[in-house]
Structure 1
Amino acid sequence: MNTVASRLIHSKPSVSRLCTLAASRDARYLSTDSNKVDEPFKVEEAETVNVPPPPSDKLLVLGGNGFVGSHICKEALDRGLSVASISRSGRPSIQEAWANNVTWHQGNLLSPDSLKEALDGVSAVISCVGGFGSQSYMYKINGTANINAIRAASEKGIKRFVYISAADFGVVNYLLKGYYDGKRAAETELLTKFPYGGVILRPGFIYGTRNVGSVKLPLGVVGSPLEMVLQHAKPLSQLPLVGPLLTPPVNVTAVAKVAVRGATDPVFPPGIVDAYGIQRYTQQKSR
Protein backbone atom coordinates (compact mmCIF):
# COMPACT_ATOMS: atom_id res chain seq x y z
CA MET A 1 0.00 0.00 0.00
CA ASN A 2 2.79 2.43 0.93
CA THR A 3 4.47 1.68 -2.39
CA VAL A 4 1.30 2.54 -4.36
CA ALA A 5 0.81 5.80 -2.45
CA SER A 6 4.41 6.76 -3.03
CA ARG A 7 4.01 6.23 -6.78
CA LEU A 8 0.90 8.43 -6.88
CA ILE A 9 2.61 11.21 -4.97
CA HIS A 10 5.62 11.22 -7.23
CA SER A 11 3.55 11.04 -10.42
CA LYS A 12 2.62 14.79 -10.42
CA PRO A 13 4.86 15.68 -13.38
CA SER A 14 3.08 13.08 -15.47
CA VAL A 15 -0.31 14.46 -14.44
CA SER A 16 0.88 17.94 -15.39
CA ARG A 17 1.93 16.70 -18.79
CA LEU A 18 -1.47 15.04 -19.25
CA CYS A 19 -3.22 18.32 -18.39
CA THR A 20 -1.06 20.19 -20.86
CA LEU A 21 -1.85 17.61 -23.52
CA ALA A 22 -5.59 17.86 -22.83
CA ALA A 23 -5.43 21.63 -22.97
CA SER A 24 -3.61 21.58 -26.29
CA ARG A 25 -6.27 19.26 -27.69
CA ASP A 26 -8.80 21.98 -26.83
CA ALA A 27 -6.68 24.46 -28.82
CA ARG A 28 -5.63 26.40 -25.70
CA TYR A 29 -2.15 27.22 -24.46
CA LEU A 30 -2.02 27.65 -20.69
CA SER A 31 0.79 29.35 -18.81
CA THR A 32 1.46 30.44 -15.25
CA ASP A 33 3.38 33.45 -16.57
CA SER A 34 1.17 36.52 -16.01
CA ASN A 35 2.69 38.18 -19.05
CA LYS A 36 1.24 35.52 -21.35
CA VAL A 37 -2.42 35.72 -20.46
CA ASP A 38 -3.34 36.46 -24.08
CA GLU A 39 -1.64 33.36 -25.51
CA PRO A 40 -4.88 31.30 -25.74
CA PHE A 41 -5.87 33.53 -28.72
CA LYS A 42 -2.86 32.49 -30.81
CA VAL A 43 -4.81 29.65 -32.38
CA GLU A 44 -7.54 32.06 -33.56
CA GLU A 45 -4.93 34.28 -35.22
CA ALA A 46 -3.36 31.30 -36.98
CA GLU A 47 -6.77 30.22 -38.25
CA THR A 48 -7.42 33.59 -39.98
CA VAL A 49 -4.03 34.12 -41.62
CA ASN A 50 -5.05 32.60 -44.95
CA VAL A 51 -8.56 34.04 -45.10
CA PRO A 52 -8.84 36.33 -48.16
CA PRO A 53 -10.03 39.93 -47.65
CA PRO A 54 -13.71 40.69 -48.28
CA PRO A 55 -14.58 41.55 -51.89
CA SER A 56 -14.39 45.24 -52.78
CA ASP A 57 -17.57 47.23 -53.28
CA LYS A 58 -18.22 48.33 -56.84
CA LEU A 59 -19.20 51.94 -57.40
CA LEU A 60 -20.81 53.27 -60.58
CA VAL A 61 -20.22 56.97 -61.27
CA LEU A 62 -22.59 58.55 -63.75
CA GLY A 63 -20.69 61.24 -65.63
CA GLY A 64 -17.32 60.13 -64.26
CA ASN A 65 -15.35 61.87 -66.99
CA GLY A 66 -16.48 65.37 -65.94
CA PHE A 67 -14.99 67.84 -63.48
CA VAL A 68 -16.72 66.51 -60.35
CA GLY A 69 -17.06 62.94 -61.63
CA SER A 70 -13.35 62.50 -62.26
CA HIS A 71 -12.53 63.58 -58.71
CA ILE A 72 -15.12 61.14 -57.37
CA CYS A 73 -13.57 58.31 -59.40
CA LYS A 74 -10.12 59.10 -58.02
CA GLU A 75 -11.40 59.34 -54.45
CA ALA A 76 -13.20 55.99 -54.76
CA LEU A 77 -10.09 54.31 -56.18
CA ASP A 78 -8.03 55.73 -53.33
CA ARG A 79 -10.52 54.14 -50.94
CA GLY A 80 -9.90 50.74 -52.53
CA LEU A 81 -13.21 50.52 -54.39
CA SER A 82 -13.83 48.99 -57.78
CA VAL A 83 -15.02 51.85 -60.01
CA ALA A 84 -17.02 51.97 -63.24
CA SER A 85 -18.42 54.98 -65.05
CA ILE A 86 -20.95 55.64 -67.79
CA SER A 87 -21.26 58.77 -69.92
CA ARG A 88 -22.18 59.73 -73.46
CA SER A 89 -18.54 59.92 -74.57
CA GLY A 90 -17.30 56.84 -72.71
CA ARG A 91 -13.60 56.78 -71.82
CA PRO A 92 -12.20 60.32 -71.53
CA SER A 93 -8.96 61.60 -73.00
CA ILE A 94 -7.49 62.02 -69.51
CA GLN A 95 -3.85 60.92 -69.57
CA GLU A 96 -3.57 60.02 -65.90
CA ALA A 97 -2.82 56.64 -64.33
CA TRP A 98 -6.06 56.45 -62.34
CA ALA A 99 -8.16 56.49 -65.54
CA ASN A 100 -6.75 53.07 -66.46
CA ASN A 101 -8.31 51.59 -63.31
CA VAL A 102 -11.87 52.64 -64.18
CA THR A 103 -14.21 50.51 -66.29
CA TRP A 104 -15.64 52.99 -68.80
CA HIS A 105 -19.06 52.50 -70.40
CA GLN A 106 -20.61 54.58 -73.13
CA GLY A 107 -24.33 55.23 -72.91
CA ASN A 108 -27.14 57.76 -72.81
CA LEU A 109 -29.20 58.01 -69.62
CA LEU A 110 -32.13 59.24 -71.67
CA SER A 111 -32.23 55.63 -72.97
CA PRO A 112 -32.59 53.54 -69.79
CA ASP A 113 -31.57 50.30 -71.53
CA SER A 114 -28.01 51.60 -71.87
CA LEU A 115 -27.65 51.35 -68.08
CA LYS A 116 -28.32 47.63 -67.75
CA GLU A 117 -24.79 46.36 -68.36
CA ALA A 118 -23.13 49.12 -66.35
CA LEU A 119 -25.26 48.32 -63.26
CA ASP A 120 -24.18 44.66 -63.08
CA GLY A 121 -22.49 43.90 -59.77
CA VAL A 122 -22.81 47.49 -58.56
CA SER A 123 -23.32 48.17 -54.84
CA ALA A 124 -23.83 51.95 -55.03
CA VAL A 125 -24.30 54.74 -57.59
CA ILE A 126 -23.19 58.37 -57.63
CA SER A 127 -24.68 60.66 -60.27
CA CYS A 128 -22.88 63.81 -61.42
CA VAL A 129 -25.03 64.17 -64.52
CA GLY A 130 -26.18 67.70 -65.28
CA GLY A 131 -25.82 70.49 -67.80
CA PHE A 132 -26.98 73.80 -69.22
CA GLY A 133 -28.77 74.80 -72.40
CA SER A 134 -32.36 75.55 -73.31
CA GLN A 135 -34.98 75.21 -70.58
CA SER A 136 -36.32 71.94 -72.05
CA TYR A 137 -32.81 70.50 -72.49
CA MET A 138 -31.83 71.41 -68.93
CA TYR A 139 -34.90 69.65 -67.56
CA LYS A 140 -34.09 66.50 -69.55
CA ILE A 141 -30.41 66.29 -68.64
CA ASN A 142 -30.79 67.31 -64.99
CA GLY A 143 -34.17 65.71 -64.37
CA THR A 144 -35.24 62.97 -66.80
CA ALA A 145 -31.77 61.43 -67.23
CA ASN A 146 -31.24 61.16 -63.49
CA ILE A 147 -34.77 59.89 -62.86
CA ASN A 148 -34.13 57.10 -65.38
CA ALA A 149 -30.92 56.18 -63.56
CA ILE A 150 -32.60 56.24 -60.14
CA ARG A 151 -35.39 53.95 -61.30
CA ALA A 152 -32.99 51.53 -63.00
CA ALA A 153 -30.81 51.33 -59.88
CA SER A 154 -33.83 50.76 -57.67
CA GLU A 155 -35.12 47.97 -59.91
CA LYS A 156 -31.66 46.38 -59.79
CA GLY A 157 -31.84 46.24 -55.98
CA ILE A 158 -28.98 48.69 -55.37
CA LYS A 159 -29.12 50.03 -51.81
CA ARG A 160 -27.39 53.42 -51.96
CA PHE A 161 -27.58 56.28 -54.47
CA VAL A 162 -25.88 59.69 -54.17
CA TYR A 163 -27.01 62.57 -56.36
CA ILE A 164 -24.92 65.71 -56.88
CA SER A 165 -27.59 68.39 -57.06
CA ALA A 166 -27.22 72.16 -56.58
CA ALA A 167 -27.88 74.78 -53.92
CA ASP A 168 -30.72 77.24 -54.36
CA PHE A 169 -29.55 80.67 -55.52
CA GLY A 170 -32.74 82.64 -55.10
CA VAL A 171 -33.51 84.69 -58.18
CA VAL A 172 -31.08 82.58 -60.24
CA ASN A 173 -33.51 79.67 -59.89
CA TYR A 174 -36.05 81.54 -61.99
CA LEU A 175 -33.51 82.40 -64.68
CA LEU A 176 -32.50 78.72 -64.93
CA LYS A 177 -35.92 77.25 -64.36
CA GLY A 178 -35.37 74.12 -66.45
CA TYR A 179 -32.12 73.42 -64.61
CA TYR A 180 -33.57 73.69 -61.11
CA ASP A 181 -36.93 72.10 -61.94
CA GLY A 182 -35.01 69.12 -63.32
CA LYS A 183 -32.76 68.92 -60.24
CA ARG A 184 -35.68 69.03 -57.83
CA ALA A 185 -37.66 66.43 -59.80
CA ALA A 186 -34.67 64.08 -59.59
CA GLU A 187 -34.36 64.74 -55.86
CA THR A 188 -38.01 63.87 -55.30
CA GLU A 189 -37.61 60.62 -57.24
CA LEU A 190 -34.49 59.71 -55.26
CA LEU A 191 -36.11 60.27 -51.87
CA THR A 192 -39.05 58.15 -53.03
CA LYS A 193 -37.06 55.22 -54.44
CA PHE A 194 -34.23 55.33 -51.87
CA PRO A 195 -35.78 56.49 -48.59
CA TYR A 196 -33.05 54.77 -46.54
CA GLY A 197 -30.06 55.04 -48.85
CA GLY A 198 -30.58 58.17 -50.93
CA VAL A 199 -28.18 61.08 -50.35
CA ILE A 200 -28.52 64.46 -52.06
CA LEU A 201 -25.58 66.87 -52.03
CA ARG A 202 -26.42 70.51 -52.67
CA PRO A 203 -23.13 72.36 -53.09
CA GLY A 204 -22.98 75.91 -54.36
CA PHE A 205 -20.09 76.93 -56.59
CA ILE A 206 -17.64 74.01 -56.81
CA TYR A 207 -14.05 75.10 -57.25
CA GLY A 208 -10.82 73.30 -58.08
CA THR A 209 -8.55 72.89 -61.08
CA ARG A 210 -10.80 72.27 -64.06
CA ASN A 211 -9.45 70.90 -67.34
CA VAL A 212 -10.88 72.56 -70.44
CA GLY A 213 -9.18 70.80 -73.32
CA SER A 214 -5.47 71.25 -72.74
CA VAL A 215 -6.01 74.29 -70.52
CA LYS A 216 -6.23 74.05 -66.73
CA LEU A 217 -8.40 76.65 -65.00
CA PRO A 218 -7.35 77.22 -61.36
CA LEU A 219 -10.80 78.01 -59.99
CA GLY A 220 -9.46 77.70 -56.46
CA VAL A 221 -7.81 81.11 -56.81
CA VAL A 222 -11.27 82.63 -56.43
CA GLY A 223 -13.18 79.84 -54.72
CA SER A 224 -10.90 79.17 -51.75
CA PRO A 225 -10.86 82.75 -50.36
CA LEU A 226 -14.63 83.04 -50.87
CA GLU A 227 -15.20 79.80 -49.00
CA MET A 228 -13.13 81.03 -46.04
CA VAL A 229 -15.16 84.24 -45.85
CA LEU A 230 -18.67 82.96 -46.59
CA GLN A 231 -18.57 79.83 -44.43
CA HIS A 232 -18.95 82.15 -41.44
CA ALA A 233 -21.85 84.06 -43.00
CA LYS A 234 -24.49 81.38 -42.67
CA PRO A 235 -27.03 83.68 -40.91
CA LEU A 236 -26.86 86.04 -43.90
CA SER A 237 -27.87 83.23 -46.25
CA GLN A 238 -31.37 83.44 -44.75
CA LEU A 239 -31.89 86.96 -46.10
CA PRO A 240 -34.59 87.26 -48.80
CA LEU A 241 -33.47 87.37 -52.44
CA VAL A 242 -29.73 87.97 -51.87
CA GLY A 243 -29.23 85.49 -49.03
CA PRO A 244 -28.80 82.36 -51.20
CA LEU A 245 -26.10 84.14 -53.21
CA LEU A 246 -23.92 84.03 -50.09
CA THR A 247 -23.77 80.22 -50.04
CA PRO A 248 -20.05 79.42 -49.64
CA PRO A 249 -18.17 77.73 -52.48
CA VAL A 250 -17.01 74.15 -51.86
CA ASN A 251 -13.78 72.46 -52.92
CA VAL A 252 -14.33 69.68 -55.47
CA THR A 253 -12.21 67.35 -53.33
CA ALA A 254 -14.61 67.88 -50.41
CA VAL A 255 -17.60 67.07 -52.62
CA ALA A 256 -15.88 63.90 -53.84
CA LYS A 257 -15.01 62.72 -50.33
CA VAL A 258 -18.53 63.24 -48.99
CA ALA A 259 -20.12 61.67 -52.08
CA VAL A 260 -18.02 58.51 -51.78
CA ARG A 261 -18.67 58.33 -48.04
CA GLY A 262 -22.41 58.74 -48.61
CA ALA A 263 -22.33 55.90 -51.14
CA THR A 264 -20.32 53.47 -49.03
CA ASP A 265 -20.90 54.25 -45.35
CA PRO A 266 -24.02 52.34 -44.22
CA VAL A 267 -24.57 54.71 -41.29
CA PHE A 268 -24.37 57.89 -43.39
CA PRO A 269 -27.84 59.42 -42.95
CA PRO A 270 -30.08 59.70 -46.01
CA GLY A 271 -31.46 63.06 -47.09
CA ILE A 272 -30.18 66.45 -48.20
CA VAL A 273 -26.68 67.75 -47.36
CA ASP A 274 -26.14 71.46 -48.09
CA ALA A 275 -22.82 73.30 -48.56
CA TYR A 276 -22.35 73.72 -44.80
CA GLY A 277 -23.05 70.03 -44.27
CA ILE A 278 -20.46 69.10 -46.91
CA GLN A 279 -17.89 71.20 -45.06
CA ARG A 280 -18.84 69.57 -41.77
CA TYR A 281 -18.62 66.01 -43.07
CA THR A 282 -15.27 66.75 -44.71
CA GLN A 283 -13.86 67.70 -41.33
CA GLN A 284 -15.04 64.44 -39.76
CA LYS A 285 -13.03 61.24 -39.95
CA SER A 286 -14.58 58.69 -42.33
CA ARG A 287 -15.79 55.48 -40.75
Structure 2
Amino acid sequence: MKTIISRLIHSTPSSISKLNAFAVSINGRNFSTDSNKIDEPFKVEEAGTVNVPPPQPPTEKLLVLGGNGFVGSHVCREALNHGVPVASISRSGRSSLHDAWASNVIWYKGNLLSTESLKEALNGVTTVISCVGGFGSNATMYKINGTANINAIRAASDQGIKRFVYISAADFGVVNYLLQGYYEGKRAAETELLTRFPYGGIILRPGFIYGTRSVGSMKIPLGIVGSPMEMVFQHTRALTQIPLVGPLLTPPVNVTAVAKVAVRAAIDPVFPPGVIDVYGIQRYSEKKSK
Protein backbone atom coordinates (compact mmCIF):
# COMPACT_ATOMS: atom_id res chain seq x y z
CA MET A 1 0.00 0.00 0.00
CA LYS A 2 2.90 2.39 0.83
CA THR A 3 4.39 1.71 -2.63
CA ILE A 4 1.14 2.69 -4.38
CA ILE A 5 0.83 5.96 -2.42
CA SER A 6 4.53 6.82 -3.04
CA ARG A 7 4.15 6.38 -6.79
CA LEU A 8 1.07 8.61 -6.86
CA ILE A 9 2.82 11.36 -4.88
CA HIS A 10 5.81 11.45 -7.27
CA SER A 11 3.59 11.35 -10.38
CA THR A 12 2.05 14.12 -12.40
CA PRO A 13 -0.46 16.68 -11.01
CA SER A 14 -3.22 14.69 -12.55
CA SER A 15 -1.99 11.73 -10.66
CA ILE A 16 -1.97 13.77 -7.43
CA SER A 17 -5.61 14.64 -7.99
CA LYS A 18 -6.28 10.98 -8.20
CA LEU A 19 -4.66 10.64 -4.76
CA ASN A 20 -7.32 12.92 -3.27
CA ALA A 21 -9.99 10.55 -4.40
CA PHE A 22 -8.04 7.53 -3.27
CA ALA A 23 -9.52 5.47 -0.54
CA VAL A 24 -7.65 2.96 1.51
CA SER A 25 -9.00 0.07 3.37
CA ILE A 26 -7.75 -0.62 6.86
CA ASN A 27 -9.00 -3.62 8.79
CA GLY A 28 -11.89 -3.96 6.37
CA ARG A 29 -13.15 -0.35 6.84
CA ASN A 30 -12.97 2.44 4.23
CA PHE A 31 -11.34 5.79 5.05
CA SER A 32 -11.65 8.58 2.45
CA THR A 33 -8.77 11.05 2.13
CA ASP A 34 -11.22 13.66 0.74
CA SER A 35 -13.22 14.08 3.91
CA ASN A 36 -10.96 12.30 6.40
CA LYS A 37 -14.16 10.78 7.79
CA ILE A 38 -15.14 7.24 8.36
CA ASP A 39 -17.50 6.08 5.63
CA GLU A 40 -18.92 3.37 7.85
CA PRO A 41 -19.00 4.49 11.48
CA PHE A 42 -18.04 1.95 14.09
CA LYS A 43 -20.99 0.28 15.71
CA VAL A 44 -20.82 -0.15 19.46
CA GLU A 45 -22.99 -2.92 20.77
CA GLU A 46 -24.38 -2.65 24.28
CA ALA A 47 -23.38 -5.43 26.62
CA GLY A 48 -26.19 -7.79 27.46
CA THR A 49 -27.71 -7.47 30.93
CA VAL A 50 -26.48 -10.17 33.30
CA ASN A 51 -28.97 -11.29 35.90
CA VAL A 52 -27.04 -11.70 39.15
CA PRO A 53 -28.99 -13.72 41.71
CA PRO A 54 -29.48 -12.06 45.11
CA PRO A 55 -27.32 -13.27 48.01
CA GLN A 56 -28.65 -16.51 49.40
CA PRO A 57 -29.60 -16.72 53.07
CA PRO A 58 -27.53 -19.01 55.30
CA THR A 59 -28.32 -22.66 54.67
CA GLU A 60 -27.22 -23.71 58.13
CA LYS A 61 -29.55 -26.09 59.93
CA LEU A 62 -29.06 -27.46 63.42
CA LEU A 63 -30.30 -30.76 64.79
CA VAL A 64 -30.58 -30.97 68.58
CA LEU A 65 -30.73 -34.47 70.02
CA GLY A 66 -32.91 -34.44 73.12
CA GLY A 67 -34.26 -30.97 72.46
CA ASN A 68 -37.20 -31.26 74.83
CA GLY A 69 -35.01 -31.93 77.89
CA PHE A 70 -33.64 -29.47 80.42
CA VAL A 71 -30.42 -28.62 78.56
CA GLY A 72 -31.77 -29.37 75.08
CA SER A 73 -34.64 -26.90 75.35
CA HIS A 74 -32.23 -24.12 76.28
CA VAL A 75 -29.99 -25.08 73.34
CA CYS A 76 -32.95 -24.91 70.93
CA ARG A 77 -33.96 -21.50 72.18
CA GLU A 78 -30.39 -20.16 72.02
CA ALA A 79 -29.99 -21.36 68.41
CA LEU A 80 -33.30 -19.78 67.38
CA ASN A 81 -32.14 -16.51 68.92
CA HIS A 82 -29.20 -16.65 66.49
CA GLY A 83 -31.58 -17.11 63.55
CA VAL A 84 -30.54 -20.71 62.92
CA PRO A 85 -33.24 -23.16 61.77
CA VAL A 86 -33.61 -25.87 64.41
CA ALA A 87 -34.89 -29.44 64.33
CA SER A 88 -34.95 -31.84 67.27
CA ILE A 89 -35.39 -35.56 67.77
CA SER A 90 -36.28 -37.32 71.02
CA ARG A 91 -38.27 -40.28 72.24
CA SER A 92 -41.34 -38.18 73.03
CA GLY A 93 -41.25 -36.11 69.86
CA ARG A 94 -42.78 -32.66 70.16
CA SER A 95 -41.90 -30.75 73.29
CA SER A 96 -44.48 -30.49 76.06
CA LEU A 97 -43.28 -26.96 76.73
CA HIS A 98 -45.78 -24.22 75.97
CA ASP A 99 -43.16 -21.54 75.36
CA ALA A 100 -43.51 -19.58 72.12
CA TRP A 101 -40.10 -20.64 70.75
CA ALA A 102 -41.10 -24.34 70.79
CA SER A 103 -43.44 -23.80 67.83
CA ASN A 104 -40.46 -22.74 65.68
CA VAL A 105 -38.68 -26.07 66.09
CA ILE A 106 -39.22 -29.02 63.74
CA TRP A 107 -39.88 -31.94 66.08
CA TYR A 108 -39.12 -35.57 65.25
CA LYS A 109 -39.99 -38.62 67.32
CA GLY A 110 -37.44 -41.38 67.35
CA ASN A 111 -35.26 -43.72 69.34
CA LEU A 112 -31.52 -43.15 68.93
CA LEU A 113 -30.84 -46.80 69.70
CA SER A 114 -32.08 -47.35 66.14
CA THR A 115 -30.17 -45.48 63.41
CA GLU A 116 -33.28 -45.60 61.21
CA SER A 117 -34.80 -42.92 63.45
CA LEU A 118 -32.12 -40.45 62.40
CA LYS A 119 -32.39 -40.61 58.62
CA GLU A 120 -35.23 -38.13 58.13
CA ALA A 121 -34.11 -35.83 60.93
CA LEU A 122 -30.57 -35.52 59.50
CA ASN A 123 -31.80 -34.42 56.07
CA GLY A 124 -30.36 -31.00 55.26
CA VAL A 125 -28.62 -30.70 58.63
CA THR A 126 -25.16 -29.08 58.82
CA THR A 127 -24.44 -29.45 62.56
CA VAL A 128 -25.61 -31.67 65.41
CA ILE A 129 -25.70 -30.96 69.15
CA SER A 130 -26.36 -33.94 71.40
CA CYS A 131 -27.89 -33.31 74.81
CA VAL A 132 -28.82 -36.97 75.27
CA GLY A 133 -28.15 -38.47 78.69
CA GLY A 134 -29.93 -40.30 81.45
CA PHE A 135 -29.77 -42.43 84.58
CA GLY A 136 -30.89 -45.91 85.60
CA SER A 137 -29.13 -49.23 85.91
CA ASN A 138 -25.56 -49.45 84.66
CA ALA A 139 -26.72 -51.23 81.50
CA THR A 140 -29.42 -48.62 80.86
CA MET A 141 -27.07 -45.72 81.49
CA TYR A 142 -24.50 -47.13 79.09
CA LYS A 143 -27.14 -47.48 76.37
CA ILE A 144 -28.49 -43.94 76.81
CA ASN A 145 -25.21 -42.11 77.30
CA GLY A 146 -23.03 -44.37 75.17
CA THR A 147 -24.79 -46.44 72.52
CA ALA A 148 -27.44 -43.84 71.60
CA ASN A 149 -24.85 -41.10 71.13
CA ILE A 150 -22.46 -43.39 69.27
CA ASN A 151 -25.25 -44.27 66.84
CA ALA A 152 -25.94 -40.58 66.28
CA ILE A 153 -22.26 -39.76 65.79
CA ARG A 154 -21.85 -42.51 63.20
CA ALA A 155 -25.02 -41.55 61.34
CA ALA A 156 -23.97 -37.89 61.23
CA SER A 157 -20.50 -38.83 59.99
CA ASP A 158 -21.94 -41.06 57.26
CA GLN A 159 -24.23 -38.19 56.25
CA GLY A 160 -21.21 -35.93 55.70
CA ILE A 161 -22.01 -33.53 58.53
CA LYS A 162 -18.94 -31.48 59.46
CA ARG A 163 -19.53 -30.48 63.10
CA PHE A 164 -20.87 -32.39 66.07
CA VAL A 165 -21.14 -30.95 69.59
CA TYR A 166 -21.58 -33.39 72.46
CA ILE A 167 -22.60 -32.27 75.95
CA SER A 168 -20.86 -34.79 78.17
CA ALA A 169 -20.06 -34.52 81.89
CA ALA A 170 -17.14 -33.56 84.10
CA ASP A 171 -15.17 -36.20 85.94
CA PHE A 172 -16.49 -36.31 89.52
CA GLY A 173 -13.95 -38.71 90.91
CA VAL A 174 -15.54 -41.09 93.43
CA VAL A 175 -18.98 -40.51 91.86
CA ASN A 176 -17.72 -42.21 88.71
CA TYR A 177 -17.62 -45.52 90.55
CA LEU A 178 -21.17 -45.08 91.81
CA LEU A 179 -22.47 -44.27 88.31
CA GLN A 180 -20.21 -46.54 86.33
CA GLY A 181 -22.54 -47.10 83.36
CA TYR A 182 -23.18 -43.36 83.07
CA TYR A 183 -19.52 -42.36 82.83
CA GLU A 184 -18.41 -45.34 80.78
CA GLY A 185 -21.11 -44.53 78.27
CA LYS A 186 -20.10 -40.85 78.17
CA ARG A 187 -16.43 -41.65 77.61
CA ALA A 188 -17.22 -44.22 74.92
CA ALA A 189 -19.25 -41.59 73.05
CA GLU A 190 -16.43 -39.08 73.43
CA THR A 191 -13.92 -41.52 71.95
CA GLU A 192 -16.20 -42.19 68.99
CA LEU A 193 -16.71 -38.47 68.42
CA LEU A 194 -13.01 -37.61 68.41
CA THR A 195 -12.40 -40.52 66.02
CA ARG A 196 -15.16 -39.66 63.58
CA PHE A 197 -14.89 -35.86 63.87
CA PRO A 198 -11.20 -35.07 64.50
CA TYR A 199 -11.58 -31.54 63.10
CA GLY A 200 -15.20 -30.77 63.95
CA GLY A 201 -15.95 -32.61 67.16
CA ILE A 202 -16.48 -30.50 70.31
CA ILE A 203 -17.03 -32.04 73.75
CA LEU A 204 -18.40 -29.92 76.60
CA ARG A 205 -17.82 -31.28 80.10
CA PRO A 206 -19.93 -29.25 82.53
CA GLY A 207 -20.37 -30.24 86.16
CA PHE A 208 -23.71 -29.82 87.87
CA ILE A 209 -25.92 -27.78 85.50
CA TYR A 210 -28.36 -25.44 87.21
CA GLY A 211 -31.10 -23.16 85.96
CA THR A 212 -34.88 -23.10 85.74
CA ARG A 213 -36.14 -26.57 84.92
CA SER A 214 -39.65 -26.94 83.53
CA VAL A 215 -41.72 -29.93 84.65
CA GLY A 216 -45.06 -29.61 82.95
CA SER A 217 -46.42 -26.21 83.92
CA MET A 218 -44.20 -26.02 87.01
CA LYS A 219 -40.87 -24.17 87.06
CA ILE A 220 -38.14 -25.49 89.38
CA PRO A 221 -35.50 -22.80 90.09
CA LEU A 222 -32.34 -24.88 90.48
CA GLY A 223 -30.33 -21.68 90.47
CA ILE A 224 -31.24 -21.09 94.12
CA VAL A 225 -28.70 -23.77 95.00
CA GLY A 226 -26.44 -23.78 91.94
CA SER A 227 -25.60 -20.10 91.68
CA PRO A 228 -24.15 -19.70 95.22
CA MET A 229 -22.22 -22.96 94.80
CA GLU A 230 -20.71 -21.70 91.54
CA MET A 231 -19.51 -18.53 93.26
CA VAL A 232 -17.94 -20.45 96.16
CA PHE A 233 -16.29 -23.14 94.04
CA GLN A 234 -14.68 -20.56 91.77
CA HIS A 235 -12.01 -20.19 94.47
CA THR A 236 -11.37 -23.90 94.99
CA ARG A 237 -9.96 -24.83 91.59
CA ALA A 238 -6.62 -25.96 93.00
CA LEU A 239 -8.41 -28.39 95.33
CA THR A 240 -10.01 -30.23 92.39
CA GLN A 241 -6.63 -31.89 91.77
CA ILE A 242 -7.02 -34.01 94.92
CA PRO A 243 -7.53 -37.64 93.77
CA LEU A 244 -11.08 -39.02 93.86
CA VAL A 245 -12.55 -36.38 96.18
CA GLY A 246 -11.17 -33.20 94.56
CA PRO A 247 -13.40 -33.34 91.47
CA LEU A 248 -16.44 -33.03 93.75
CA LEU A 249 -15.46 -29.37 94.09
CA THR A 250 -15.94 -28.75 90.35
CA PRO A 251 -18.13 -25.64 90.19
CA PRO A 252 -21.69 -25.85 88.88
CA VAL A 253 -22.49 -23.98 85.67
CA ASN A 254 -25.62 -22.19 84.50
CA VAL A 255 -27.62 -23.97 81.79
CA THR A 256 -27.70 -20.72 79.83
CA ALA A 257 -23.91 -20.70 79.67
CA VAL A 258 -23.83 -24.32 78.49
CA ALA A 259 -26.41 -23.61 75.77
CA LYS A 260 -24.60 -20.48 74.65
CA VAL A 261 -21.26 -22.26 74.25
CA ALA A 262 -22.84 -25.31 72.60
CA VAL A 263 -24.52 -23.19 69.94
CA ARG A 264 -21.44 -21.08 69.42
CA ALA A 265 -19.35 -24.23 68.97
CA ALA A 266 -21.90 -25.46 66.42
CA ILE A 267 -22.14 -22.35 64.24
CA ASP A 268 -18.72 -20.69 64.64
CA PRO A 269 -16.36 -22.26 62.06
CA VAL A 270 -13.26 -21.15 63.98
CA PHE A 271 -14.34 -22.62 67.32
CA PRO A 272 -11.58 -25.09 68.21
CA PRO A 273 -12.38 -28.82 68.28
CA GLY A 274 -11.64 -30.92 71.34
CA VAL A 275 -12.67 -31.03 75.00
CA ILE A 276 -13.95 -27.94 76.85
CA ASP A 277 -14.09 -28.29 80.64
CA VAL A 278 -16.33 -26.33 83.00
CA TYR A 279 -13.82 -23.47 83.25
CA GLY A 280 -13.63 -23.27 79.48
CA ILE A 281 -17.42 -23.19 79.29
CA GLN A 282 -17.50 -20.28 81.72
CA ARG A 283 -14.80 -18.47 79.74
CA TYR A 284 -16.38 -18.97 76.32
CA SER A 285 -19.84 -18.00 77.58
CA GLU A 286 -18.50 -14.60 78.59
CA LYS A 287 -16.90 -13.92 75.20
CA LYS A 288 -18.89 -12.32 72.44
CA SER A 289 -19.14 -14.21 69.17
CA LYS A 290 -17.47 -12.48 66.24
Q: Do they fold alike, i.e. is TM over 0.5?
A: yes
Give the CA deviation at 1:53: 4.6
Give the residue type in structure 1 aligned to 2:242. Answer: L
Distance 1:126 1:52 in 2: 28
- 2:120 is aligned to 117
Give the CA deviation at 1:215: 2.0
- 1:195 is aligned to 198
The answer to whether the Cα contact below 8 Å between 2:97 and 2:216 also exists between their aligned partners in 1 is no
Give the residue type in structure 1 aligned to 2:223. Answer: G
1:209 aligns with 2:212: yes
Distance 1:211 1:55 in 2: 32
Higher gyration radius (CA): 2
Give the CA deviation at 1:56: 3.8
Distance 2:216 2:100 in 1: 18
Give the residue type in structure 1 aligned to 2:160. Answer: G
Distance 1:205 1:157 in 2: 33
Distance 1:267 1:92 in 2: 32
Give the CA deviation at 1:72: 0.2
Give the CA deviation at 1:51: 2.8
SS in 1 for 2:54: coil
Q: Residues 132-151 of structure 1: matches in 2 within 5 Å?
A: 132-151=135-154
Question: Deviation string for 1:26-70 (max 9, x for gaps)?
Answer: xxxxxxxxxxxxxxxxxxxxx99x834532410000000000000
- 2:226 is aligned to 223
Give the CA deviation at 1:73: 0.2
- Consecutive unaligned residues of structure 1, counting only runs of 5 or more, are 1-24, 26-46
Distance 1:224 1:93 in 2: 27
Among 173, 177, 194, the alignment partner of 2:176 is 173
Fraction of identical pairs, as percent: 77
Distance 2:259 2:196 in 1: 23
Give the CA deviation at 1:96: 1.1
Distance 1:195 1:88 in 2: 29
Distance 1:53 1:113 in 2: 32
Give the CA deviation at 1:232: 2.4
Distance 2:279 2:235 in 1: 10
TM-score w.r.t. structure 1 length?
A: 0.82
- 1:283 is aligned to 286
SS in 1 for 2:125: coil
- 1:32 is aligned to none
Distance 2:144 2:83 in 1: 30
The answer to whether the Cα contact below 8 Å between 2:96 and 2:216 also exists between their aligned partners in 1 is no
SS in 2 for 1:72: helix
Give the residue type in structure 1 aligned to 2:265. Answer: G
Detail structure 1 runs of 4+ shifted over 6 Å in the superposition: none
Distance 2:280 2:160 in 1: 28
Distance 2:80 2:221 in 1: 24
Distance 2:96 2:187 in 1: 32
SS in 1 for 2:270: coil
SS in 1 for 2:147: helix
Give the residue type in structure 1 aligned to 2:119. Answer: K
Among 53, 57, 61, the alignment partner of 1:54 is 57
**Aligned pair count?**
241
Among 254, 264, 269, the alignment partner of 1:266 is 269
- 2:77 is aligned to 74
Distance 1:238 1:53 in 2: 50
TM-score w.r.t. structure 2 length?
A: 0.81
- 1:253 is aligned to 256
1:102 aligns with 2:105: yes
Give the CA deviation at 1:192: 0.1
Question: Deviation string for 1:48-105 (max 9, x for gaps)?
Answer: 9x83453241000000000000000000000000000000000011111101100000
Give the CA deviation at 1:229: 1.4
The answer to whether the Cα contact below 8 Å between 2:194 and 2:274 also exists between their aligned partners in 1 is yes
- Consecutive unaligned residues of structure 2, counting only runs of 5 or more, are 1-45
Among 123, 126, 131, the alignment partner of 1:128 is 131
Give the CA deviation at 1:216: 1.3
1:163 aligns with 2:162: no
Q: Please identify which structure carries the higher helix content.
A: 1
